[in-house]
Structure 1
Amino acid sequence: MPARRRKITNVLLRKTLDELWKTKSPAWRRVYELLNRPARQRIVVNVSKINRYANDGDVVVVPGKVLGSGELEKKVTVAAFSFSYTALEKIETAGGKALHILELVKENPKGSGIKIIT
């Protein structure tokens, strides 16, 4: 008996995965692979981890959810599938910008200069 394919019911996730698959960029393909995991294996990153690994002015991609635990002292652009309310507040008060992954794909289709934080 063949393995059953799982059906993704979240319309926004399906649309995001479709757009990422259309790009030929290795960076966006890697984000696709990380987002296409089962829900239990999806990536969750705290703001403190972004603060630890990013520099001022970096563009950071989180293929999952960003949570608000910790402090953010750097001005970074963060693209993720979803954000908690406190994470959005902390990114904006630090002078950064929060985007959905689809917005960043449209701005940067080649995926150059991005950091993927897992």
Structure 2
Amino acid sequence: IWREIAGRLETPNRNYAEVNLSKINRYAHNGEIILVPGKVLGSGVLEQSVKVAALNFSESATSKIRDANGQCMTIEQLLKDNPKGSGVRILR
């Protein structure tokens, strides 16, 4: 999983993913770990408590994730916490 993410992040910045909270809400399950190789935007509502790792977060996305009892983290923090990458869902 980490080789795949590294390959996606080697592309130019304009090709990074931009994922709205509505998409995370649609595909994530409660307690799941979501990895976004790009930026998380605050459009939409988050109803599940999830851990989200990304390069960047908008201010509204950060507050909405924390309001849903979720956690925002960097990709480096996720790599340190979960070196095997098990149980991680990638959204782009």
TM-score band, normalised by the shorter chain?
over 0.9
Identity of counterpart residues, as a percentage?
51
- The structure 1 segments of at least 4 consecutive aligned residues displaced by more than 3 Å after TM superposition are none
Which sections of structure 1, spanning at least 5 residues, go unmatched?
Answer: 1-26
Tell me which residue corresponds to 1:100.
Answer: 74
Tell me which residue corresponds to 2:58.
Answer: 84
Q: Which has the larger radius of gyration?
A: 1
1:60-105: per-residue Cα shift (whole Å, max 9, x none)?
0000000000000000000001100000000000010000000010
The range that moved more, 37-46 or 51-60, is 37-46
* Counterpart pick for 1:47 among 21, 43, 51: 21
Which sections of structure 2, spanning at least 5 residues, go unmatched?
Answer: none
Residue type matched to 1:33 in 2?
Answer: G
Q: TM-score, normalised by structure 2?
A: 0.97
Q: What does 1:32-71 correspond to in 2, within 5 Å?
A: 32-71=6-45
Kindly indicate whether structure 1 or structure 2 has the higher relative contact order, using CA contacts under 8 Å at least 6 residues apart: 2
RMSD: 0.6
How many residues are paired up? 92
Structure showing the higher strand proportion among its residues: 2
